């Protein structure tokens, strides 16, 4: 998959949108308070708002990295690691706050599989 191929562009835009929306809208702008509640229960209520915004900022950085296409396989590995870790922690510690409850694991797994396929198994364009 070359940087200019339509498939590569689609994956970059789709994955970046996921991270931008979750970072900016859900966490930085606090439009989905459930995210702050999750951080509060896992890391403590004292600094939950600030920590949630910092996590959101990190997600925006991830989106920019994905958009750049720089070290694509590394960005895919970072996404897979982040999604797996975040969802595992949430599934164990606060399953009641997840959007789909324990079924969130299926959504996370689907995203992980798509990122893995796009990053490592998608046929490269010539």
pLDDT tier, 126 (very low <50, low <70, confident <90, very high otherwise): very low
1-32 confidence digits (pLDDT tens) = 555 688 889 999 999 999 999 999 999 999 99
Q: Which long-range contacts (CB under 8 A, 24 or more apart) does 116-120 make?
A: 116/76, 116/80, 118/1, 118/7, 118/11, 118/15, 118/76, 119/72, 119/73, 119/75, 119/76, 119/77, 119/80, 120/73, 120/76
27-56 confidence digits (pLDDT tens) = 999 999 999 999 999 999 999 999 999 999
């Amino acid at each position: 998959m070359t940087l200019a191929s339509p498939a590569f562009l689609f994956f970059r835009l789709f994955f970046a949108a996921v991270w931008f929306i979750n970072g900016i809208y859900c966490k930085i702008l606090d439009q989905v308070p459930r995210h702050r509640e999750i951080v509060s229960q896992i890391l403590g209520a004292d600094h939950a708002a600030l920590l949630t915004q910092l996590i959101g900022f990190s997600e925006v950085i991830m989106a920019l990295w994905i958009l750049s296409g720089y070290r694509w396989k590394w960005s895919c590995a970072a996404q897979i690691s982040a999604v797996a870790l975040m969802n595992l922690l949430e599934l164990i510690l606060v399953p009641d706050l997840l959007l789909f409850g324990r079924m969130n694991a299926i959504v996370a797994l689907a995203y992980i599989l798509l990122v893995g396929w796009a990053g490592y198994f998608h046929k490269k364009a010539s």
